[in-house]
Amino acid sequence: MTTDQLSSNKQLVEDFIQDLFTKGDSDAVDRYLDPAFVNHDPPFPGAPDGPDGMRAAAMMFRQAMPDWHSDVERLVAEGDIVVEVFTARGTHRGELMGVPGTGETITLRGINVFRVQGDRIVERWGSLDQLGLLQQLGLTSPGSP
């Protein structure tokens, strides 16, 4: 794979993340994800399969935190894989996971691994700091298993 293709894959992933999560453009799912997109690690219990699960996750965070934004800290590409390390933040203004808005800043860190085919993202694996999110929402206490 050429350096140009690796750069193109990284740009595709960054554009997708910024359009969907930072700008709140739910149509980004249709522009960037293949219709047969597979999300190996759904973003929340009961999330829809495929592209709709990514759209639902983004809209859940954007509705609860209208200023939600994702800062890409690192993008690494090799072959058809792009790894994203990120920190996302927003002000908790609406209900999130049953918790009413608190006015506090919520921070979510994570790593996503995307597989790109052509000009579309076809797969995602991810690891999000779900425990940290639950602690910030007061749904579990620090030190809880």
Residue 123 near residue 116, CB atoms below 8 Å: no
Residue 1 has pLDDT above 90, yes or no: no
* CA-based radius of gyration for the chain: 15
Residue 115 near residue 123, CB atoms below 8 Å: yes
Average pLDDT over residues 56-76: 96
Of 14-23, 46-55, 95-104, which range is least confident? 46-55
Average pLDDT over residues 86-101: 96
Residue type at 118?
A: G
What per-residue confidence (pLDDT) applies to 13? 98
| Of 132, 77, 82, nearest in space to 107 by CA | 132
Task: Domain 3-136: state its class.
Answer: alpha beta
What per-residue confidence (pLDDT) applies to 143? 67
64, two tokens: 């609860």
Average pLDDT over residues 115-126: 97
Model confidence, pTM: 0.92
Residue 137 has pLDDT above 70, yes or no: yes
Average pLDDT over residues 120-125: 98
Of 2-6, 18-22, 80-84, which range is least confident? 2-6
What per-residue confidence (pLDDT) applies to 145? 60
Mean pLDDT score of the chain: 94
Residue 112 near residue 33, CB atoms below 8 Å: no
Phi, psi angles (nearest 5°) of residue 83: -105, 130
State the pLDDT confidence band at 144, using cuts at 50, 70 and 90.
Answer: low
Domain assignments of the chain as residue spans, ordered by start: 3-136
Is 117 in a helix, a strand, or coil? Answer: strand
Of 19-28, 45-54, 58-67, 93-102, which range is least confident? 45-54
